[in-house]
Each structure stands twice: as C-alpha cells, then as structure tokens.
C-alpha cells in the first residue's frame, strides 16, 4: 500500500458519513416553523359549510355487467378496468360491497359537496310522511294477498308447462316407435 496517499490533506478517507449537526438542526427548525405557519393558515380560514346528506335520486347499478366477459388491460382507462368505477372520485373499487361502501362514504359525499350530517326533519314533515304512506297503503297496489295469488298463478303455469313438455315427449316417442 502506498502510505503517502493516506496523508493527503483535505481528503476524507474515513468512509463514514459525518453529519453537520448544526446545519440539520437549522433545517429542522425552519421546517417546523413552516409547518406551524401552514397549520395556522389552515385554521384561520372559515370552516367549509357543506350541504346536508340527501337521499340518492337514482338507482345504483350493480348488476348490469353481471356474467359478462371483458378483456382488461392495465393500460385501459380507469372506467374500463375490472371493478366498479366511480366517475365522481375517478377511482375503481373491486366489488359491489366496497362500491356501496364507497358511494355511501365520507370521501365520496364530500366530493359531491355534502357533509355526513342529515338534516333534521320538522314535526310537520314527519306527519306528512306518515299521511303519505298511510294513503299509499289504502290504495295499496300490492298486498300480501296479491303476492300469494301471483305465486299460485306462477306455480300453475309452471305445472302446465311441465305437463305440455311431458305430452310432447310422449308423442315423439310414440311416433319413433311406429316407424
């Protein structure tokens, strides 16, 4: 080994990083100040008033792509990826349960400009609601009786179809035997 090279002045040959503690302390202080400023300016702004939660006015579509086959490539746009795409948040969730959780969730509602708080109903609103549902029951288009009748009808139809099929098969067999 060449001994003289070890004594070259100004070359760090310890191969170990030395931290300038003073410099980093200074940097840390600056960062802390900056963060504190950010916090202050955030809290200074008036709180954002979002609209109260509203019921959905559309049917959630979970089944339109059920049983279908689709080629998915990683470079396809998000809306054509596997899973449920939320155009509001531009994200994809992998199954229907998670999709429901997502569209009922805080992040999604916030993107729609709503808070998670529900508007308080007044006494009149509740009474009106009761009245409306009472009226609907009176003119009720669909009762338990209706349901049972319909079920019976369907069963009868199904039975008839079976009988018809049986008869057809029988006739076919008879014809074949005659030949």
Q: Does 88 bind Zn ion (CB under 5 A)?
A: yes
Q: Does 89 bind Zn ion (CB under 5 A)?
A: yes
CA 86, CA 108: separation in Å to the nearest integer? Answer: 9
Strand partners, 168: none
By beta-carbon proximity to Zn ion, the closer residue of 51 and 172 is 51
Task: State the nearest-atom distance from the C-beta of 75 to Zn ion, in Å.
Answer: 23
Q: Does 99 bind Zn ion (CB under 5 A)?
A: no
By beta-carbon proximity to Zn ion, the closer residue of 89 and 92 is 89
Going through the chain in order, the beta strands assigned E by DSSP cover: 51-53, 84-86, 91-93, 114-118
Q: What are phi and psi of 20, to 5 degrees?
A: -80, 95
Task: State the nearest-atom distance from the C-beta of 87 to Zn ion, in Å.
Answer: 8
Q: Does 110 bind Zn ion (CB under 5 A)?
A: no
CA 114, CA 109: separation in Å to the nearest integer? Answer: 5
Q: Are 52 and 63 in contact (CB under 8 A)?
A: no
- The residue range among 2-10, 105-113, 121-129, 136-144 that interacts with Zn ion, by the rule CB under 5 A, is 105-113
By beta-carbon proximity to Zn ion, the closer residue of 22 and 57 is 57
Centre a 10 Å sphere on the Cβ of residue 81 and count the other Cβ atoms it contains: 16
By beta-carbon proximity to Zn ion, the closer residue of 111 and 118 is 111
CA 108, CA 98: separation in Å to the nearest integer? Answer: 12
Positions 4 through 43 that interact with Zn ion (CB under 5 A): none
Q: Are 117 and 52 in contact (CB under 8 A)?
A: yes
Q: Does 109 bind Zn ion (CB under 5 A)?
A: no
Task: State the nearest-atom distance from the C-beta of 111 to Zn ion, in Å.
Answer: 6
By beta-carbon proximity to Zn ion, the closer residue of 51 and 136 is 51
Whole-angstrom CA distances from 122 to 53, 126, 128 are 16, 6, 10
Task: State the nearest-atom distance from the C-beta of 113 to Zn ion, in Å.
Answer: 12
- Chain residues binding Zn ion by CB under 5 A are 86, 88-89, 108
């Amino acid at each position: 080994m060449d001994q003289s090279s070890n004594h070259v002045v100004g070359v760090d040959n310890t191969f170990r990083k030395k931290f300038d503690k003073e410099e980093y302390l200074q940097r840390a202080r600056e960062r802390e100040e900056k963060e504190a400023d950010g916090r202050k300016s955030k809290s200074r702004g008036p709180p954002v008033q979002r609209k109260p939660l509203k019921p959905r006015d559309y049917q959630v579509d979970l089944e339109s792509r059920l049983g279908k086959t689709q080629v998915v490539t990683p470079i396809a746009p998000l809306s054509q990826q596997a899973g449920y795409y939320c155009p509001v948040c531009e994200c994809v969730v992998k199954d229907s349960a998670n999709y429901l959780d997502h569209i009922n969730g805080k992040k999604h509602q916030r993107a729609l400009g709503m808070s998670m708080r529900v508007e308080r109903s007044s006494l009149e609103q509740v009474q009106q609601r009761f009245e409306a549902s009472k009226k609907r029951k009176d003119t009720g288009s669909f009762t338990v009786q209706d349901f049972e009748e319909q079920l019976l009808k369907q069963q009868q139809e199904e039975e008839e179809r079976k009988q018809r099929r049986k008869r057809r098969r029988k006739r076919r067999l008879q014809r074949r035997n005659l030949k």
